[in-house]
Amino acid sequence: MANVDRSISTVLHDIVGNVQDIIRSEVRLAKTEVTEELEKLGLASILLGVGALLLVFSALFVLLAIVYALSVFLPAWEAALIVGAGVGVIAALCWGLGLKRFKAVRAAPKTTASVKENVEWAKQLTR
């Protein structure tokens, strides 16, 4: 029953304080979400880099196989071609996984909408 004696200014002050606490919490949550998304972006970048590097090696092995095939018709070129094709398959898999992870990264955190809702709610209270 002690709350009955509170003045309007005290109640408004408490409301403003609560809204500030809510907004601070939403900002902390948004920071956390952005950090998580940046970590995903880092892993996707690594996979794309590995895929690109392996693709270069694949091209080199295929070129080496062509050189072997043209210079001396021996089974060694078959081995080089198999290695080149195998590295190419691995590169394609890494590239595909990296692109898939890039597409899974959200540009804006989920809490953006709830922050907007809280601001609108606070505006309604002050009217």
What are the tens digits of pLDDT across the range 15-40?
888 888 888 888 888 888 888 888 88
- The count of structural domains within the chain is 1
For the entire predicted model, the pTM comes to 0.41
Residue 119 lies in domain: 2-126
Instruction: Kindly report the three-state secondary structure assignment for every residue of 18-34.
Output: HHHHHHHHHHHHHHHHH
The rounded distance, in Å, linking the Cα atoms of 48 and 100 is 10
3-state secondary structure of 111: helix
What single-letter amino acid sits at 119? Answer: V
Mean per-residue pLDDT pooled into runs of 10, the chain (127 residues): 70 85 87 86 90 90 75 71 81 92 77 72 70
